[in-house]
Amino acid sequence: MPGSSFGTSFRITTFGESHGNALGIVIDGLPAGLKITPHDIEYELYFRRPGKEYTSQRFEEDKVEILSGLFNGKTTGSPLAVIVRNVDVNLTPYESIKFTPRPGHADLSFILKYGVENWDYRGGGRASGRETVSRVIAGSIAKKLLLLKGTYIFSCIRSLGTKGISDSIQLYEVIKAKCRKVRACKMSYEKEFEDLLYDLIRSGNSIGAVVETRIVNPPIGLGEPVFDKIKADLAKAVMSIPGVVGFEYGLGFEASKKRGSDILDEIVLKGKRVGLRNNFSGGILGGITTGEEIVFRSAFKPTSSIKRPQKTLDIRSMEERTIIIEGRHDPCIAIRGASVVEAMAAVVLLDHSIASHIIPSDRLSGKDSELIERRWEGYKRLCMPMAESQY
């Protein structure tokens, strides 16, 4: 049962390993006529790219090569294949852990399932966070196409360990977070988060976080009763991201502490459309989008690869070993993971939008294409400080 494909009407298949030749994706289901440049994709990849402060010090440029599916700069309706080559590959730290699976990573389960002789121990292979480059490539294209309906997706770090916000976050703060170094949900937390990360890096430790995602102006009516509910598909998409340990939408787990009277989602007229006064349900009722903002949160565990001696077994002799993990690691997965969450959300929304004929499956008109380009330029200006606007 292969597991590298996701989606139905907009279907993605990812391939590649952390320290292999390249990471890539094949996307099937794109309508013809969508303008795509390598720069469009690199713009989104910029936000998940390693090598920046408070992230893994693996320096990858993530230069995009589009192999198929484009003609005259526009999609043709054929599968779009895109790769980025691995450049900064260093196998040395992984030779010593070939037979000693790292606690908390996917090493043990891969060895038990596939056999130690077949296990790609080079930086986690397919279980590496590097796999998510492919998802962000798909996300960049899905996000661009969703602009046809004026739908935008943003994520920020709501909390880092026990620090952060406990009530609602203003949308403009979530948008702004994208150009902050550690994507804090408020400028006032950014310094606090940075100080904490600085201490963690110095002490060779890591930390968990909660990412909040907002889907602004989602199409109404996405989600199919009863198994293909949008909440179920979003949960699967997000929970497939390495390092994610929890998903909630709307009030989520908080709702379990409330009385019915506390969280009545009263129905009101908002301008000319039917809406919800408070949107406690996070934009989804009955598994179907209401048109209100979709609000969901993803919990990321702390990075398991920390610079502390840790006990494991030598899988050949079954003798106890103490290992020290080398290599380059993120002190907090969620900082780069936030972009991956946005990407997976975009893939789900687009998949449902194409299936429901809200976004055309065959071709875009010239007018559609121009509208998307205009909105895409606006989106880039919204998210990136001008100094970095080369992307």
Q: Which of 64, 241, 295, 372 binds ligand FMN (CB under 6 A)?
A: 241
Task: Provide, rounded to whole angstroms, the least separation between the CB of residue 41 and ligand FMN.
Answer: 17
Task: Provide, rounded to whole angstroms, the least separation between the CB of residue 389 and ligand FMN.
Answer: 24
Cα–chain center distance at 163: 22
Is position 124 an interface residue for ligand FMN (rule: CB under 6 A)?
yes
Nearer Cβ to ligand FMN (236/258): 236
Task: Provide, rounded to whole angstroms, the least separation between the CB of residue 247 and ligand FMN.
Answer: 12
Nearer Cβ to ligand FMN (20/243): 243
Single out the residue of 74, 88, 124 nearest to residue 304, CA to CA.
124
Cβ partners under 8 Å of residue 260, min gap 6: none
Are 218 and 273 contacting, i.e. CB atoms less than 8 angstroms apart? no
Distance CA 240, CA 259 (A): 32
**Which residue shows structure tokens 């199409």?**
219
Tokens matching residue 358: 């809200």
Q: Which of 223, 243, 250, 282 binds ligand FMN (CB under 6 A)?
A: 243
Judged by CB under 6 A, how many residues of this single chain contact ligand FMN?
A: 21
Are 235 and 302 contacting, i.e. CB atoms less than 8 angstroms apart? no
Distance CA 61, CA 89 (A): 12
Q: Which of 155, 303, 353, 369 binds ligand FMN (CB under 6 A)?
A: 303
Is position 132 an interface residue for ligand FMN (rule: CB under 6 A)?
yes
Segment lying near ligand FMN (by CB under 6 A), choices 121-129, 169-177, 223-231, 256-264: 121-129
| Sign of torsion over alpha carbons 343, 348, 351, 354 | negative
DSSP tag of 4: S
Q: How buried is 361 (Cβ within 10 angstroms: 0-12 exposed, 13-18 middle, 19+ buried)?
A: middle
For the window 326-365, what string marks contact with ligand FMN as x by the rule CB under 6 A? ---xx--x--xx--x-------------------------
Q: Site residues (CB under 6 A) for ligand FMN?
A: 56, 105-106, 124, 127-129, 132, 241-243, 301, 303-305, 329-330, 333, 336-337, 340
